[in-house]
C-alpha cells in the first residue's frame, strides 16, 4: 500500500483578509474551523515547510445556503517575469516575495454550499508546490471553513542509508533534499519533474 504523510502548510507569507494573519495562522496550525462573513474576500500566500506533492482537501459548511469561490495557485516559489511561460523561467531566491511573484497552475471552482451540508473540494490528482496562493470569495451568507488538509502519498520506501561527511556541514542537508526529491517524484510510477509536468 502507498504511504501517506501529513504536509504542513501553515506559514503565512501574505494576508489580505478581514480575519487577521494571527487567527489564520492559529487555524492552520490547529486545523481548526474558521467563520468567514458573507460577501467577504480573503487572499493568503501560504508556505509549506518543504516543496511537496500532496493531495489537498478543503471543506466548507454554512447554516444557510450560499456560495464560495475558491481559487488556489500552486508555485515552486516566488520568481521573476518568465522569458517564456511556462518553461523558460527566471528564478533566484524562491522565498523572496519582495522581488518576485507567484506563477503556476491553479484550481478555480465555485462551490454551492447547501444548508448544514458540508461540501468538500478535492482535486482529482495531487498538486505540487512550495507556496500556495489561496483566494476565497464568500457569497451572500457566511460560511465556515471547516478544515484544510494536505497529504503526501507515495510508493513506500524504506530508507536504509544516510550520509554525514565529517567536516562537511552541508552533507546531511544535501542527502535530505535528495531523499525528498525522490519521494516527490515517486508514485505508482516515476515522474521526472512533477511541477513542470503539471504545467503541460
Query: Residue 137: what pLDDT?
Result: 98
Q: Does 178 reside within a domain?
A: no
Q: Does 20 reside within a domain?
A: yes
Q: Does 141 reside within a domain?
A: yes
Query: Residue 70: what pLDDT?
Result: 98
Q: What mean pLDDT value characterizes the chain?
A: 90
Query: Residue 91: what pLDDT?
Result: 81
How many whole angstroms separate alpha carbon 94 and alpha carbon 166? 29
Total domains, the chain: 1
65 or 159, which is more confident? Answer: 65
Q: Does 65 reside within a domain?
A: yes
Q: Does 184 reside within a domain?
A: no
Q: Does 124 reside within a domain?
A: yes
- Give the tens place of pLDDT for each residue, 138-181: 999 999 999 999 999 988 888 888 898 999 989 999 999 998 88
Phi and psi, residue 5, nearest 5°: -130, 145
Whether pLDDT at 83 is above 80: no
Q: Is the peptide bond before 52 cis (omega within 30 degrees of 0)?
A: no
Q: Does 164 reside within a domain?
A: no
Q: Does 59 reside within a domain?
A: yes
**Residue 138, domain CATH:** 2.60.120.260
Whether pLDDT at 200 is above 60: no
Per-residue DSSP letters for 170-182?
THHHHHHHHHHHH
Per-residue DSSP letters for 1-54?
--EEEE--EEEEEEEESSS-HHHHHHHHHHT--EEE-TT-EEEEEEEEEEEEEE
- Give the tens place of pLDDT for each residue, 94-143: 888 888 889 889 999 999 999 999 999 999 999 999 999 999 999 999 99
Please list, in sequence order, all residues whose beta carbon lies within 8 angstroms of the beta carbon of residue 94, skipping any fewer than 6 positions away.
76, 77, 78, 79, 100, 130
> What is the C-alpha end-to-end distance of the chain, expressed in Å?
29
Whether pLDDT at 87 is above 70: no
Domain of 12? 3-154
Amino acid at each position: 500500500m502507498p504511504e501517506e504523510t501529513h504536509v504542513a502548510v501553515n506559514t503565512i507569507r501574505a494576508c489580505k483578509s478581514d480575519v487577521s494573519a494571527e487567527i489564520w495562522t492559529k487555524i492552520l496550525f490547529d486545523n481548526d474551523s474558521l467563520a468567514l462573513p458573507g460577501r467577504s474576500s480573503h487572499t493568503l500566500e501560504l508556505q509549506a515547510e518543504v516543496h511537496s506533492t500532496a493531495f489537498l482537501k478543503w471543506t466548507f459548511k454554512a447554516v444557510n445556503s450560499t456560495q464560495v469561490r475558491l481559487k488556489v495557485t500552486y508555485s515552486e516559489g516566488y520568481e521573476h517575469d518568465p522569458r517564456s511561460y511556462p518553461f523558460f523561467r527566471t528564478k533566484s531566491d524562491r522565498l523572496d516575495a519582495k522581488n518576485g511573484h507567484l506563477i503556476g497552475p491553479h484550481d478555480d471552482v465555485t462551490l454551492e454550499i447547501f444548508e448544514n451540508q458540508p461540501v468538500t473540494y478535492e482535486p482529482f490528482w495531487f498538486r505540487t508546490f512550495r507556496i500556495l496562493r489561496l483566494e476565497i470569495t464568500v457569497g451572500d451568507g457566511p460560511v465556515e471553513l471547516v478544515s484544510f488538509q494536505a497529504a503526501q502519498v507515495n510508493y513506500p520506501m524504506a530508507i536504509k542509508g544516510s550520509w554525514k561527511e565529517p567536516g562537511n556541514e552541508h552533507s546531511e542537508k544535501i542527502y535530505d533534499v535528495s531523499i525528498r526529491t525522490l519521494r516527490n517524484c515517486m508514485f505508482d510510477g516515476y515522474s521526472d519533474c512533477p511541477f513542470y509536468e503539471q504545467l503541460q
